[in-house]
Amino acid sequence: MDPHSTGDLFSDEALQQPARREQIGEQSYVLRGYALPWLERLLPELRAVLAQSPFRQMVTPGGFTMSAALSSCGDLGWTTDRQGYRYSPIDPERHQPWPALPNVLRELATTAAAAAGFEGFAPDACLINRYVPGARMSLHQDKNERDFSAPVVSLSLGLPAVFLFGGHQRSDKTQKTSLFHGDVVVWGGVDRLRFHGVLPIKHGVHPRMGPQRINLTFRKAG
């Protein structure tokens, strides 16, 4: 940016601190505020994806309706129903392919992965979770992907969340990390199969995103 121009002085980008990298596991990092400079480009693309494939609540194999609503973009979308969890190239509500993964999302995921030590990340799936206040995600492992050598990259938007990071057994003790609007987290390597979850979202209204938290997770699923 031209240092003498004043036009962008008060944009998110000009106000942003240099992204801080916090290590939360052997091969896991929170990149604080990493996505803030990308959001003006990213949010319109996200809105367009959600206009095509809107949020919906899905049912687990056990018969429980998930409190988070979800959608997807990219070649594969994560779905659940009474038959089980799986990745599918087809949106089961629309019987059509999921919307394409927008370039800006792919670039964000790839550069964030590289900043955490995972070069060459090529996501083929982006799961979009929406949490309204009270919604949560109970402790689980992500193991529907074919190749656990690729990391998972997640982007948090809107209301803050308390993320729980456990061990390799459900009963292992968990550490808590708050995730805020614009934070990006990268999980990989030895941390890829650790249990994790999200505590119920507290009531609030985010100035940019309204009364919700949206989380995008990028994976190499196929």
- Please choose which of ligand MD3, Fe ion, none residue 80 contacts, taking the beta carbon within 5 to 8 angstroms, the exact cut-off set by kind: none
Residue 191: closest CA among 137, 154, 136: 154
Give the residue with the Cβ less far from ligand MD3, 13 or 209.
209
Q: Residue of minimal CB distance from Fe ion?
A: 142
Residues that bind ligand MD3 (CB under 6 A): 127, 129, 137, 142, 152, 154, 161, 187, 191-192, 194, 196, 198, 215, 217
Residue 142 binding Fe ion, by CB under 5 A = yes
CB-count burial class (<10 Å; 0-12, 13-18, 19+) for 171: exposed
Binding-site annotation: residue ranges for Fe cation: 140, 142, 196
Taking the complex as a whole, the smallest distance from the CB of residue 131 to ligand MD3 amounts, in Å, to: 7
Count of alpha carbons within 13 angstroms of residue 79, beta-carbon side: 20
Give the residue with the Cβ less far from ligand MD3, 13 or 148.
148
Taking the complex as a whole, the smallest distance from the CB of residue 43 to ligand MD3 amounts, in Å, to: 18
Give the residue with the Cβ less far from ligand MD3, 106 or 192.
192
Give the residue with the Cβ less far from ligand MD3, 106 or 194.
194
Binding-site annotation: residue ranges: 140, 142, 196
- Please choose which of Fe ion, ligand MD3, none residue 194 contacts, taking the beta carbon within 5 to 8 angstroms, the exact cut-off set by kind: ligand MD3
Place of tokens 């002085």: 9
- Please choose which of ligand MD3, Fe ion, none residue 72 contacts, taking the beta carbon within 5 to 8 angstroms, the exact cut-off set by kind: none
Instruction: Tell me the window of 21-29, 97-105, 119-127, 137-145 that interacts with Fe ion (CB under 5 A).
Output: 137-145
Q: Residue of minimal CB distance from ligand MD3?
A: 215
Q: Which residues contact 177 (CB under 8 A, 6 or more apart)?
A: 22, 24, 30, 162, 163, 165
Give the residue with the Cβ less far from Fe ion, 124 or 142.
142
Enumerate binding residues for Fe ion (CB under 5 A). 142
